[in-house]
Structure 1
Amino acid sequence: MAIKLITNNVDGAKIRIVGVGGGGGNIINNMVDAGINSVEFIAINTDKQVLDLNKANVKILIGKDVTKGLGAGMDAEKGMKAAENSRDEIHRALEGSDMVFITAGMGKGTGTGAAPVVARIAKSLDALVVALVTKPFGFEGNMKASIANDGIEKLKREVDSLIVIPNQKLIEITDDPNITKNEAFALVDRVLYHATKGISQIITEPGEMNVDMADVRTTMRGMGDALIGTGIASGPDRAEKATLAALNNPLLENIKIKGAKRVLTNISTNNSMKLHEFEKINSMIIAEVGIENESGFIIGTIDDPSMKEDELMITIIATGFDNEETNFGNHTQTKSEGKGIVELAAGKTKLKSNNVNPKREVALYDDEDEQNVQKYKIHEIPNDQDLKNLDVPAFKRRGDDLNLNEDFSENLKPIEEFDDNEWDDFNIDEDFQKPAFLRRQMD
């Protein structure tokens, strides 16, 4: 496969990172502390007290007439109205943007309700709009999860590419069983930081093989669901280790990168990139993705003096997935396979039963970080043959192995073997000799 090498430097691409709501604002604060060059930070909130403490360059208090600066609670409708109420102010803040990142924690009022409005405004300005949002931890409750799912569906319609990070997955892959809640949230923020920095660096930082804004647009414009993986490694095997880490990033867990139509890869080092490392990374990614169209694979390198001398970081962005398939780990199952009832818990598949009629269709839905396992209904439309067999008992039509002639007598205890104490436990009285409907009338 030929590799597209970009030599034009990007001049003045304006990137804005917008944190919406309390969760988005926290992400902005952590990104400001960690540092991302050549971007502008904007914080949008309905809670004035929280917004005043934010470290963003630009702060917008939305919906003053709707929330009085007191927040939207878990009311996404109120968050949406607040953003609509401040549309002009948001529009002015986003004017001239080439790319807009929207970060938010989905599940509460402002982030869930306002993020789609912000995305719509950014799209109207012809900016490339990418949303990186989180879904709640399992311990945050089912109501918050439901609000988040509704908000994500609305946001998906307003952005070019959407990256969803299920918080629960990230906590499940940590090795420390004693991790605190604050440490878990910090872990999520760190993943979001690397994802945003990786994409921003691709556009703003010069390199020997530079990727420009047009390439990022080609990869992410109007592509829907996106996957991003980052990997950092050092030492003699750093290229292989970083690539494997990026390909097996928690953001990619349970959804394989194979089959993506477009992949953009960025490699960052402190001016220590070796030719054989580049070739190794290139071959590993192509082998994993299986891209047949050479124009779908773009790779660039960046010299980052802030990195350690022997450190190598890889950022992989994959888009253009076939929505006809649902991919779980190493297994791809289409909706027509019908292998049994499948339980999905935190993105993991578990075969519940192998005794399911093979003609029945199994609908798979990826609820990712739902704390409680949900079992989905199997619906079968009867055909003519089924209607002819209605006189056959249901258990036989299902193929259940039920032997009605089985002798259960060996498990029965002769009545004379019950002692007096066992009979006392039954509390039998004369009323039980009366029909049930008469007993109900007497109560």
Structure 2
Amino acid sequence: MNNRYFNLIGLASIIFSICSLIAFFPGAMTWDSLDQLRQARAGTYTDWQPPMMAFFWSLLLNLSDGPGAMLIFHFMLLWATSLTLFKWSIREGYRFGFLFLTLPIFPWIMNFQFTLWKDIGMAYSWGLSIAICIYFRGHKKFPVLAAALAIVLFLYGALVRSNSLSAGVFLMAFVCASIFNVNSIKSALGFMILGMMTIVLAHISVGALLTPKKANPVSYVLFDDVVALKLRGVDIPVSFLNAEEMEIIKHCEYLQVHEIGAAFCIPDEKFTAITIEHYAELKATWLTNIPQHFPTYAKFRLNAFINLIRSPSMVPYYYSEFSVKNKPFTISSGNREASAPKRLVEEYVTTSQNIIPDLFKPYTWIIISFGLVLAFYLSTNSQETSLWLLPLSGLSYMISYLPITPAADFRYAYWMCFIASLSLVIFLNIQSKKVIEHETINKL
């Protein structure tokens, strides 16, 4: 195939993506995104979700009183990433640049592409930050405006996810290495420390400026851990759970299947009371009992993590989300009836999952990411680029769920899947130059 056919594939991808955007406009939403939209409309925030996305959404509401502007923003980030890297590949003379144009329609990326989650905002803002760094790296002087935009996009992505630190330290190292055109382990370590400090200070600053109401989001994990010990025979007296409630939790089907999610086994108002009225007791109970029964706790957490990353014998879990709400976009609004184009996209993702289910399981992407770290680090074509930090960012992000796995949902692996896919396309393009050079030599 020549470049003409490659570019036709890229054009078809753009058309499919645009049609899909129209079919899902103004965006798919779940409880998380509905709650953030509610906060954006009210102008008051809680720290159950990082408040940055809700605050930014409040600004976008001036353009559209609903989720549509946020969906467009996410798509602008995604397509700016693809087009910037496509242009970079053309400039560098790479063969497979068209793959950057197909990135948005990879089924394991399209599966959550229309969902207005902070996971998506983080992935796409970081993707464009990376694309800017790759495009301008190698210039005699990195443009100031491009550097500023890359850093702003990085900070936005870091601020919309509470556990972004685990991935952000490596990504910050890549951004800085690109801007300052340095490449060494020593400089990477220094930039990682800088990234850690920057992300922590950014979260503290946003919290001080937006003053979100405390909702104690860590309660979800603490409650799971305490309940897990109690279910495994550890005698932990607490005032917020009686024997009848523990019996209900013990026979909860969701908990039996997923290892975690004890909060879903009791009424919402009950768990809300625990997070607010009994938080001090819950926290004290956790601090007292987890160290004393660490082997039991560690085994529980390991099982939960294994359930999250799935295995060849397990089916993918919650691998897509396409629920588009009716106006006025609240929990009680009901879902919009699916159109023919919307059903086509859903069928595309579902069929892909049926054909290649392992690409919808995090364990596969852990293996791919590890391989990419080694490939970039050892490749003579990319040793001077610090690109190995990109898949390492995804790996670190996924591993960070070992002590805090909230559910078995594929969404928690989205950053790893996205950056691994992006890194793989980058690697293929870089390696293609070697093939082109070899073909040129043979012709001579």
Under a length normalisation based on structure 1, what TM-score does the superposition of the two structures give?
Answer: 0.27
Greater helix proportion = 2
Q: Which of 1 and 2 has higher RCO (CA within 8 Å, sep 6+)?
A: 2
TM-score by length of 2: 0.27
**Relative to total residues, which structure has the larger strand share, 1 or 2?**
1
- Whose Rg is larger? 1
